[in-house]
Structure 1
Amino acid sequence: MPGPSAAAADGAVAEFVAVMRRLRAECPWKREQTHRSLVRYLLEETYETVDAIDEAEVSGDFGHVAEELGDLLLQVVFHAVIAEERGDFDLDDVARGITAKMRRRNPHVFGDDLDEGLTAEQVDARWQRIKEAERPDGAGGQELPSALPALLYADKVLARRERAGLPTDVAADSPDLGERLLALVAEARAAGTDPEQALRDAVRRRQ
């Protein structure tokens, strides 16, 4: 089944932006919100979307995923409309920025060095190299978000060490529980498994 045309998508998104602008003007609660006050809702909606995806993978019903993505889109548009009022940026700026980034970081599709033979792992490695080269110091030194879940944080730290050629050996038999947990993350990486998702799946099976 073909997807909607770009024009149809633009029309629906433009209508939603118009709705949010009106709500900001006429709804007292919406008018009082700031970027900071909306952070908790952004986090909540993100986790609810993750839950909906996990459930849909089991049930095969992705209708709830569409609903949760709508709630997540609300947060994106809400922030963009607030920024628009301040004269900082608008939703078009957000879209243009991410479009440019996708073109830069996917030269195998949009660039001069088209290569249809790349594996997913090679594409990811190239993405990371391009991302690191875009940093002001050219060394990929951006701090990882402190709010990341611990398993995901550990996974990203180990990935950075691997790319930098630094050792990632962890003692699985260490008396320190944290070291043993980190060893499990390293084991998951070696097996090509997302440790965060693996733990979520295991816990869900016991609910």
Structure 2
Amino acid sequence: MSNSERSPELLQTAMLEAVQQLVAVVAQLRSPTDGCPWDLAQTPESLTPYVIEEAYETVDAIQSGDTKAICEELGDLLLQVVLQAQIASEAKQFNLTDVAQGISEKLIRRHPHVFGDVNVETVDDVHRNWEQIKAIEKGEDPTIAPPLSKKLSRYTRSLPPLMAGMKISRKAAEAGFEWEAIDGVWAKFQEELAEFKEAIAETDKAHQEAELGDLLFTVINLARWYDLDPSAALQGTNQRFIQRLEQMEAVADRPLSDYSLEQLEKLWQQAKARLRGEAGEAD
């Protein structure tokens, strides 16, 4: 019997059994007596890169529309949740039950129009109620807007740098931190580029990174002014680079490291032209 033919009750039972099996498998992997050495060596901190990686791979699968890949990547992401909960449980901090109960209670609390008697008419109403309830949960006055700096600092903690930069740029602009015209943004770009070049001529790495950050943030502001997504732009460039590299490797008769720089440049240009001809690729 396929899942689509099962009753809701059987589906729920199967789901709970599957989750319980996953929890048991992870617990076995973390067993001090007969577990896996790699899993036993992991800490919440060491697993952090995998949480990010699996989240990105899940997004990539969703964007591809491949349902089989989406299912697999969601499983990999779920594994990271269960692993973190298992490690916390071993330290007697919390367990997966606490995680599930906590998010369920939060969803019920923040959706009084579904689980209570509050009336809403628009998505904006839902968002407004959500923010007010969240403020109350944090002990804040929902009628008083939090300082802009506090609001923006949340993005640096919860988003990848490029996405955080765009969010910060937009919110700051809404608060009045904005150029009068695009010419001002381009002038700022040239200023930051010059300062970065000066920093590179020095030996202070912290200063160099600070100036590089300023330059990147200005590029993000340029993207905002032109209504472009810097994350999507960089992702596209990464993909095009790999596609061109694949084309080069397909026609190479030896490892690319054995080619001269001039030969590699020729192969690169040929790959660009071939891909452009196939899919109208931009430079």
Q: Within 5 A, what are the aligned runs for 1:1-207?
A: 5-25=11-31, 26-56=35-65, 61-115=66-120, 117-119=121-123, 121-138=124-141, 139=146, 141=150, 143-144=153-154, 145-146=156-157, 148-157=159-168, 166-167=175-176, 169-170=178-179, 171-173=181-183, 174=185, 175-177=187-189, 178-179=217-218, 181-182=220-221, 184-185=223-224, 188=227, 195=229, 198-199=232-233, 203=237, 206=240
Secondary structure, aligned partner of 2:118: coil
Q: Which has a greater percent of helix?
A: 2
**Is the radius of gyration larger for structure 1 or structure 2?**
2
Q: Are residues 122 and 196 of structure 1, via their aligned partners in 2, closer, same or farther at CA, if it must alter by over 3 Å?
A: farther
Q: Are residues 205 and 127 of structure 1, via their aligned partners in 2, closer, same or farther at CA, if it must alter by over 3 Å?
A: farther
Unaligned runs of 5+ residues in structure 2 are: 190-216, 244-283
Distance 1:196 1:68 in 2: 25
**TM-fit CA distance, 1:156:** 3.2
Secondary structure, aligned partner of 1:82: helix
Kindly indicate whether the alpha-carbon contact (under 8 Å) linking 1:49 and 1:69 is maintained by their aligned counterparts in 2: yes
Root-mean-square deviation (CA, aligned residues, Å) is 3.1
Measured against aligned partners, the alpha-carbon deviations of 1:25-44 in whole angstroms (never above 9, x if no partner) come to 01121112111111111111
Q: Are residues 40 and 151 of structure 1, via their aligned partners in 2, closer, same or farther at CA, if it must alter by over 3 Å?
A: closer
**TM-fit CA distance, 1:196:** 5.8
TM-score by length of 2: 0.58
TM-score by length of 1: 0.76
Measured against aligned partners, the alpha-carbon deviations of 1:112-168 in whole angstroms (never above 9, x if no partner) come to 2133x323x442343233323322444484632347333421343356558xx7325
Query: How much identity, in percent, do the aligned residues show?
Result: 37
Q: Are residues 132 and 203 of structure 1, via their aligned partners in 2, closer, same or farther at CA, if it must alter by over 3 Å?
A: farther
Poorly superposed stretches of 4+, deviation over 4 Å: 1-4, 158-162, 200-207
Secondary structure, aligned partner of 1:8: helix
Residue-pair matches, total: 194
Distance 2:175 2:5 in 1: 46
